[in-house]
Amino acid sequence: MEMSDKLKEVEEEGNKLFPSFQPLMGDLWAGLFKMKPELLEDVGEKLTMNRQLMEKVMADDGYTDFREFTCLDDLAAALGTTKYSETVLGWVKEQTKQDQDLAEALQQLMDGEQGASQQAADALSTALSQNGKSLSRMLSRAAQEAVEAKENVKSLLGGIQAGSGDGEMKKVPLKDQLFLAEKLSTDRRLREIAAWAGRMKVIANRKQRSKHKDAISRNGIRQGNDIEQLLPMELGSYASPISKMDFLRRYAEGQTLQYDTNGNEQLGKGPIILCLDQSGSMRDQDTISKGFALALMSIARKQRRDFAWIPFSSHASDPLIYERGKISVKNMIQLATVFLDGGTKFVAPLTKAAEVIKQSRFHQADIIFVTDGEAHVNDQFIDYWNELKKEKGFSVLSMLLGTESIQGVQGFSDRIVKASSFEDESVYQAFEI
């Protein structure tokens, strides 16, 4: 409750309807989070309504399935509590519009009149028996929304490796996870970016695995939780009833011993710099381009490479630098909401990239330059660029979206890829860096 503005908002609204709403939220949370929640048989008169509502929630067909998602999961249980609380509140409000007896009983309860608790409980019991099916439908939608909310958070915070989403999320404070989830629930564009980021990361993982499929030499032993590379002794620990729980604990914490298969090709990789066109003509591809950027950032995070993001149009923004690809939730939301608009110029972002490259941490960088436009780059700048390239050893992959002419990028690029849009498979070559 202290971490979530949305939970506070729901609580404040619910407390206007009946005085025991905040304890009801606590019961909803306990019912979703705890291992074996059970309803008390006897409760005080003031909590009779809460027990009626909890009995309905816990008897609902989808509740048991939803608990598999929320049980002992801080984020999922918090999201489920928010959605269930909103749903129950909305349903009771709707019933008061249709049922004068319930509306009057709740008002008397709020006014503290004697006997109002029993009258409200009786009126609620009637409403549940007559319209309980509508509450069940609403609870089913609420559960689905909570599941989707967590999946969207995982898409934004997770890495590119399959199964790494929950592990990456554990590194982010719960307060930030809730903040992001609440932003996602109110921002359609952010949800679209999360969906694209999730898809792009799957593709990036496939490209990286394909690229390194020959890098299977065992160069030592390290700690981790890659099940395919576990040492035989660890598999033995799992098979033994005596050591199985210890194995599972160490596996969950990424402390099990496994072969280190990072091939030589993965060692000594330089940073990634993304110059991303945000001119007016790129607006239709803005959400997918942000998903593309976050997938690249996940590669950087996995490989511990610094990442710089330079959005540009007729001018270029100052580079946003994320050491080892790590990005905070607030910075992620900032990245998702920025769009420059305007025309297209190439020298401005290249100049910003050059400034970044001159930093010692950005030696031997991989530059991804994405545009759907054309612009002139003068010979004097090209000469400067090529000299800097010799000195710093970086390379440039330019991606042209929906344009045929390579003249604008040819002078400063090492490799050029043409694609109709971000959904063109040619774009995914960027994930092989």
When pLDDT is averaged across residues 397-414 and rounded to a whole number, the result is: 89
> In this structure, are 290 and 424 located in the same domain?
yes
When pLDDT is averaged across residues 71-96 and rounded to a whole number, the result is: 96
Residue 160 lies in a domain: no
Domain housing 369 = 266-432
> In this structure, are 233 and 322 located in the same domain?
no
267 pLDDT band (50/70/90 cuts)?
very low
Residue 167 lies in a domain: no
* Last residue in a domain, options 201, 234, 261: 261
> In this structure, are 237 and 290 located in the same domain?
no
| Residue 407 pLDDT | 86
How far CA 404 is from CA of 279, 292, 341, in Å, comes to: 18, 22, 22
E-state strands within 162-282: 221-224, 256-259, 272-277
Mean pLDDT of the chain: 89
pTM here? 0.74
**Nearest CA-CA partner of 347 in 372, 322, 369:** 369
349 touches 282 (CB < 8 A): no
| DSSP helix/strand/coil, 416 | strand
**Domain total of the chain:** 3
What type of residue is 373?
A: G
**Nearest CA-CA partner of 327 in 110, 188, 174, 168:** 168
How far CA 70 is from CA of 79, 158, 274, 422, in Å, comes to: 9, 19, 37, 35
Residue-wise pLDDT tens digits, 10-32? 999 999 999 999 999 999 999 99
> In this structure, are 276 and 416 located in the same domain?
yes
Rounded CA gap, 33 and 74, in Å? 7
Angle 326-328-331 (CA atoms, 0-180°, nearest 5)?
Answer: 110
Q: Which residues, in sequence order, are bridge partners of residue 222?
A: 258
> In this structure, are 86 and 145 located in the same domain?
yes
Residue 217 has pLDDT above 60, yes or no: no
* Last residue in a domain, options 200, 233, 261: 261
**Nearest CA-CA partner of 277 in 264, 288, 265:** 288
> In this structure, are 274 and 423 located in the same domain?
yes
Which range has the worst mean pLDDT, 80-89, 209-218, 221-230, 306-315? 209-218
Rounded CA gap, 178 and 170, in Å? 13
> In this structure, are 136 and 73 located in the same domain?
yes
Residue 288 lies in a domain: yes
Angle 424-428-431 (CA atoms, 0-180°, nearest 5)?
Answer: 165
Kindly tell me the sign of the dihedral angle through the C-alpha atoms of 331, 335, 341, 346: positive
> In this structure, are 246 and 304 located in the same domain?
no
> In this structure, are 247 and 271 located in the same domain?
no
| Residue 265 pLDDT | 40
> In this structure, are 247 and 312 located in the same domain?
no
Phi, psi dihedrals of residue 90, rounded to the nearest 5°: -65, -40
When pLDDT is averaged across residues 46-67 and rounded to a whole number, the result is: 94
**Domain CATH code at residue 335:** 3.40.50.410
| DSSP helix/strand/coil, 288 | helix
Q: Could you give the angle at which helices 74-98 and 5-14 cross, rounded to 10 degrees? A: 30
At 409, list the tokens: 């990028």
How far CA 120 is from CA of 95, 128, 340, 398, in Å, comes to: 12, 12, 55, 68
Residue 112 has pLDDT above 80, yes or no: yes
| Residue 215 pLDDT | 44
Residue 194 lies in a domain: no
Residue-wise pLDDT tens digits, 113-159? 988 999 999 999 999 999 999 999 999 999 999 999 999 998 888 77
> In this structure, are 246 and 332 located in the same domain?
no
Residue 193 lies in a domain: no
Residue 264 has pLDDT above 90, yes or no: no
Report the phi/psi class of residue 53: left, alpha or beta, with left for phi > 0 and alpha for psi in -120 to 50: alpha
At 11, list the tokens: 């609580």
> In this structure, are 248 and 281 located in the same domain?
no
Phi, psi dihedrals of residue 406, rounded to the nearest 5°: -100, 5
Tokens 């344009």: give the residue. Answer: 403
